[in-house]
Amino acid sequence: MEANLPLIWAGIILFGIMMYIIMDGFDLGIGILYPFFSDRHDRDVMMNTVAPVWDGNETWLVLGGAGLLAAFPQAYSIILSALYLPLIFMLMALIFRGVAFEFRFKARDHERHFWDKAFIGGSMAATFFQGVTLGAYIRGIPAVNGVYTGGALDWLTPFSLFTGVGLLATYALLGSTWLVMKTSGELQATCYRLSRVLGLVLLAIIAVISLWTPFIDSRIASRWFGPDMWMLLPIPLLVLFCFYQLQRALARKAEVWPFVFTLGLVFLGYVGLGISVWPNIVPPDISIQAASAPPQSQGFALVGAVIIIPIILIYTAWGYYVFRGKVQAGEGYH
C-alpha cells in the first residue's frame, strides 16, 4: 500500500502551525499584557519567563512555511501572493520585537521605555497581522490555473480585522495563564484577575466567529449545519467544557490547569477552523491533492522532515525542562 504523501504533509504542516500558535502565542501574549503592568520589576519578571525559549518557539513558523513550499508549491505561490502584505507586516513586527527583547535588558534606565514600547508594539502588530492573515485565508483566495487573481488589498475585510482582534485576545489569555504558572505574589494575583476577564472575551469572540464563518461560504454552512452536524456537535460542547473548567481553575487559584484549559480552547478553535476549510489547502476550491508537488519531491522532503522534527521536539523539551519552575524578581536568563 502506497503512503498518501499529500495527507502526511498536510498533517505535518498543520502540526507545525499548531505548535507555533501554542508556543509563540503565550510569549507574544506577554508583550500584549505589558500595558497592564507599569512596574519595571514586574516587566522584567514577565520577560524573563520567556527569554530563554521565545526564539526557539518561532522555529515552528519556519517549519510550517518551508513544508508548504516543499510539499505544496502551488498553494505556497497563491497564498503568499494574496497575503504578502500582512505577512510582511507580521515579519517586520517579529523582527522589531526580537530586537527589543535583546536591547531592553542592556538599555539604560531613561532608554528602557523605548524598548518597552517596541516590545508592546511588535507583539501586538505581529499577533494582529497573524489573525488578519488567518481571517483572509478562511474567507478564501481566488485563483485560476494556479495563479492568484485577486488584488493586493483583498485581505482587508471586516472579518479578517475581527479575527486579528480575536487573536490578540487569544494570545493575551495564553500569556496571562502562562504567567499564573510562572510567577507569584501580586503579579500572579493580577494575572488571575486578567485571565478571568480574557476568558470571557475569548468565549464571546469564538461565538461570533463560529456564527460568522458559515455565512462566508455556503459549503462551510452545510458542513456545520447539514447532516454531519451531530458528528461535529462535540466540538462546541468541548469549548464550553474547557471554558467552564478554566474559570473554575482560576477561582480556586490552580496554577497549571488554567494554562492547560486555555490550550484546550485554542486547540478546539484551530480544529473548528480546519474542519471549515478541509480538504482544501487554498479555500474555497484547491484541495491538498490538487496542489501537491510530485510524489518524488514530497518523498525526498519527507526524509528531511522525519529527521528534523524529532530534533526540534527534543531540544524544545530540553529547553523547557532546564528553565522549568517559577521566575523570581532579580533572576533570569539575561
Distance between CA atoms of residues 91 and 136, nearest Å = 17
- Provide mean pLDDT across the span 219-247: 89
- Classify residue 181: in a domain, yes or no: no
> Binning pLDDT at 50, 70 and 90, where does residue 105 land?
confident
Is pLDDT at 334 greater than 70 in this prediction?
no
Give residue-wise pLDDT tens across range 130-156.
999 999 999 989 999 889 998 989 999
Structure confidence at residue 1 (pLDDT): 56
Which of 14, 150, 156 lies closest to 71, judged by CA?
A: 14
Give residue-wise pLDDT tens across range 215-231.
888 888 888 888 878 88
- Classify residue 176: in a domain, yes or no: no
Task: State if pTM tops 0.75.
Answer: yes
Structure confidence at residue 333 (pLDDT): 58
Question: What average pLDDT does the chain have?
Answer: 90
Structure confidence at residue 162 (pLDDT): 95
Share of the chain above pLDDT 90, in %: 57
> What is the DSSP track for 229-268?
HHHHTHHHHHHHHHHHHHHHHHHTT-SSHHHHHHHHHHHH
Is pLDDT at 69 greater than 70 in this prediction?
yes
- Provide mean pLDDT across the span 206-210: 91
Q: Which residues pair with 286 in a beta bridge?
A: 282
Q: Please, is 296 exposed, middle or buried when counting C-beta atoms within 10 Å of its C-beta (0-12, 13-18, 19+)?
A: exposed
Share of the chain above pLDDT 70, in %: 98
Domain coverage including residue 232: 2-170+186-323
Structure confidence at residue 332 (pLDDT): 61
- Classify residue 48: in a domain, yes or no: yes
- Classify residue 331: in a domain, yes or no: no
Structural domain total, the chain: 1
* Distance linking the first and last C-alpha atoms of the chain: 53
- Classify residue 142: in a domain, yes or no: yes
> Binning pLDDT at 50, 70 and 90, where does residue 198 land?
very high
Structure confidence at residue 113 (pLDDT): 86
- Classify residue 139: in a domain, yes or no: yes
Cα separations in angstroms, 283 against 80, 137, 289: 14, 7, 13
H or E element at residue 143: strand 143-144
Distance between CA atoms of residues 28 and 49, nearest Å = 12
Is pLDDT at 268 greater than 90 in this prediction?
yes
- Classify residue 180: in a domain, yes or no: no
- Provide mean pLDDT across the span 111-129: 92
Give residue-wise pLDDT tens across range 269-320.
999 888 888 888 998 889 999 889 999 999 999 999 999 999 999 988 998 8
Structure confidence at residue 178 (pLDDT): 96
- Provide mean pLDDT across the span 248-266: 95
Structure confidence at residue 220 (pLDDT): 84
- Classify residue 177: in a domain, yes or no: no
> Binning pLDDT at 50, 70 and 90, where does residue 56 land?
confident
Distance between CA atoms of residues 206 and 220, nearest Å = 16
